[in-house]
Amino acid sequence: MRLINTQTLTLHDFTTSPKIPTLHDFTTSPKIPKYAILSHRWTDEELTYKEFSKHRSKDKKGYRKIVDFCEFLRKWEREWCWVDTVCIDKRSSAELSEAINSMFKWYGAAAECWVWLHDVSESNNEGAGEDLLHQFGESSWFRRGWTLQELLAPEQVIFCSHEWQILGCKQPSDAQKYGLTPSGKRDAGTELRDRIQEAACWSSDIILWAISDRTGIPSEVLRQPHRVKYYSVAQRMSWASSRQTTRVEDQAYCLLGLFRINMPLLYGEGRRAFQRLQQEIIRSSHDESIYAWTANNSEQDWAWLKDQSAFPILARSPQDFAGSRDIVRTLGVQRSPWTVTHHGLEVPLVPDNVTGTIELPGFNVTESNSALESMVVGTQDTVALSFPLACKRERGADSMPCKLVITRLRCSHWGRLITDNMIGHRPASWIPATIKFDRQKIYIHIDGCEDFDAMLWSDSTPRALERSGHTNSFKRVKLED
């Protein structure tokens, strides 16, 4: 890890222990000093590692930004800081990959994360505090993909205006985080926190309200970053759904730490990066809310699929999770895991301990909350399966189980069915059907990065299903192996 000395404006290398670094290493290793970290919106004239280390390009805006940051930190008794533009040598792909895979830990281990909002300025304020708060909520910092982890990973985030005026702080809620030393004196962390809060324009509660209102992230997650893991994959994806990145691959790479995923960076792979991220999440988690997304049909990228009969099972970008903010996990699911293979997502048709006449296993939310069932439905042209997922949509006191509807493409290969509402959709026009399988598993098409036309088994479209004259409702059916 490379840090800047705020007194000399020079770079210094620090190393963790030879093992894979953890958050404990950063907070306890004597080799790494306590440091502050800068979060900012990249603009034009940013410096590179080479320019800063050689003391070049001092006329650039990026150099002035770092000098101002270091001067500001000296007032708060911080000797070391980390700035992403100059502390990573991006000429080295290995160093860049290591940095991006470690960045969530680096932000989480920082003493403070200082956010510089270049587009929030007192000079633009007409005098009313509400106007400055409005600028804060409209800042472009909240629209960038990389700043999501910079908001969530650190326990203490301090927001500053263009003039380096402290606007407010996101503070940890744990009263024991800062308190008394064994001798009974207030520790340095408590004193510094109080000084920062005294200098802030707004209280911590106002900042939390403004951030939560702008981002949709619950305030308890902002106060307690460790609670992120208790939120479903779909909910975490929804927090990134309105954010943009310059490189399409960064839509996935900026989320690695949020899902505790490590994977190699392959710039040039395009949208396949987000497919790889989802596959890694599936391999490391049983959270089925990753399938609870709704296609954004207004997005141009989906135009080529509008006249087809099926989608891939994985989302194409975080934008597809924009409507998944209220999708929560449900407990009690008991079935064999779904596995990522080169054929697609492998779904076993029977539990390992069941033979003979079978039912498709799935989780269905009922009054007893324990029934295992799945639906098999069909029209004259299309056969489809409805898998209840281990998640539900919660809206106040109401909840609705999430279901994944798939349709046969060819042989044992299936794709996700296009419907007006991908989640909880139960078309009344379908009739029950019994299917004979010659295999113990099926494969669901994973992503849309390849030629999907070759996978299609039927020419049926959602419009064809709507024209069906059948009005039978779903019912539980037996499947013959």
144: nearest Cα among 255, 36, 63, 278? 255
pLDDT at 444: 87
Structure tokens at 277: 């991220």
User: How far, in Å, CA of 156 to CA of 145, rounded?
Assistant: 20
Evaluate the CA torsion angle 235, 239, 242, 245 in order and state its sign: negative
Q: Where are the domains of the chain?
A: 2-259, 288-466
Residue 385's beta-bridge partner residues? 376, 406
Decide if 296 contacts 422 (C-beta within 8 A).
no
**Highest averaged pLDDT of the listed ranges 167-171, 233-237, 332-336, 436-440:** 233-237
Decide if 25 contacts 16 (C-beta within 8 A).
yes
pTM exceeding 0.85? no
Give pLDDT tens digits for 36-67: 999 999 988 899 999 999 999 999 999 999 99
> Cα torsion for 45, 50, 55, 57, to the nearest 10°?
-20
pLDDT at 176: 42
Give pLDDT tens digits for 284-326: 998 999 999 886 654 444 444 444 557 788 998 999 999 899 9
142: nearest Cα among 207, 90, 86? 207
User: How far, in Å, CA of 206 to CA of 84, rounded?
Assistant: 28
C-alpha of 350 from chain center: 32
